[in-house]
Amino acid sequence: MTILPRLALALLLMTFAFKVEAAETASFAGDGIELRAVMYRPEGVGPFPAVVALHGCGGLYDRDASLNARHADWGQRLASEGFLVLFPDSFGSRGAGSQCATTNRVARASTERVADALAAKAFLQSRPDVKPDALSLLGWSNGGSTILYAVNAGAEARDGKPDFARAVAFYPGCRVPAERGSWRTRLPLLILIGAADDWTAAAPCDDLAKQSAAAGSQVSIVFYPGAYHDFDHPSLPLRTRSGLADTADRSGTAHVGTDPVAREDALRRVPLFLAH
């Protein structure tokens, strides 16, 4: 993908910048559950391209019940660039908080969370302010893993509506799909991961991308040297987390934190990819 020079990109974004409405809550029918969500939208009537954004194992909210800063940052940024962004609350809607310490999650990446993404798609495609053929997926960590299952060939909704157009997965767990050897993305997919990530390792994602690309799928991957999990967070000092259920070395310990260089590249790269 050709990346515009920084000045040219800045001028482009200034030219097409949208004012953003305050975040609002929404709810819609899921698979046997009422899903709550947070939505960011540009001002105006639209219709807009839209993004279904999937949170990680920590959930949509922090411990103080405030929207996670990463989600708020991405929601505001993408809405300012003309995307309507919907964050389904897969865990909170099921009465649960963070699921990072357990593998027996209330909503699994491979099943319930894929169903949540499809329910969000149906909700957005029913709205007059959304372009039904311009919906994309975006997810982080466990949400990124959900994307791998949601874009797999054969996983699309059988509803007669346009499929998701594109998908971006931040530091997903790639080991299980890579080991199965049969995973193929049916739509253009971008994987962004820190080369030093010791929570969801980069190597299986490299294997997965190579397998899929060899089969003719449109998948690309970017490795950020020295970057760890959560590298795109707006302000997370590098630290070690423990008590995690599933880390690269099975120790339950991993590093997380903002990487300014990787974050800056992701902030440029993702809107360009989604708008292609």
Tokens at residue 110, please?
Answer: 């491979």
Residues written for the chain: 276
SS3 212: helix
The pLDDT value given to residue 9: 41
Over the stretch 84-100, which tens digit does the pLDDT of each residue have? 999 999 999 999 999 99
The pLDDT value given to residue 17: 74
Tokens at residue 93, please?
Answer: 């809607």
The pLDDT value given to residue 107: 95
The distance in angstroms from the start CA to the end CA of the chain is 10
Over the stretch 172-215, which tens digit does the pLDDT of each residue have? 999 999 998 889 999 999 999 999 999 999 999 999 999 998 98
Judged against a pLDDT cut of 60, whether residue 12 lies above it is answered with no
One-letter amino acid at 49 equals: P
The pLDDT value given to residue 20: 84
Query: Taking a C-beta distance cutoff of 8 angstroms, is the pair 205, 193 a contact?
Result: yes
Over the stretch 124-159, which tens digit does the pLDDT of each residue have? 999 999 999 999 999 999 999 999 999 998 888 889
Average pLDDT over all residues of the chain: 92
The pLDDT value given to residue 97: 93
Q: In the chain, where does DSSP find H-type helix?
A: 6-16, 69-80, 112-125, 142-150, 175-180, 202-214, 260-274
SS3 170: strand
Query: Taking a C-beta distance cutoff of 8 angstroms, is the pair 195, 227 a contact?
Result: yes
What does DSSP say about strands 189-194 and 219-224: parallel, antiparallel, or unpaired?
A: parallel
Query: Taking a C-beta distance cutoff of 8 angstroms, is the pair 77, 163 a contact?
Result: no
Any idea which residue has 């989600």 for tokens?
A: 71
The pLDDT value given to residue 6: 43
**Cβ atoms within 10 A of the Cβ of 261, count?**
12
> Could you tell me how many helices (H) and strands (E) the chain has, helices first?
7, 10
Query: Taking a C-beta distance cutoff of 8 angstroms, is the pair 124, 163 a contact?
Result: no
Share of the chain above pLDDT 70, in %: 94
Over the stretch 33-91, which tens digit does the pLDDT of each residue have? 999 999 999 999 999 999 999 999 999 999 888 999 999 999 999 999 999 999 999 99
The pLDDT value given to residue 22: 82
> In the chain, what are the domains?
6-274 (3.40.50.1820)
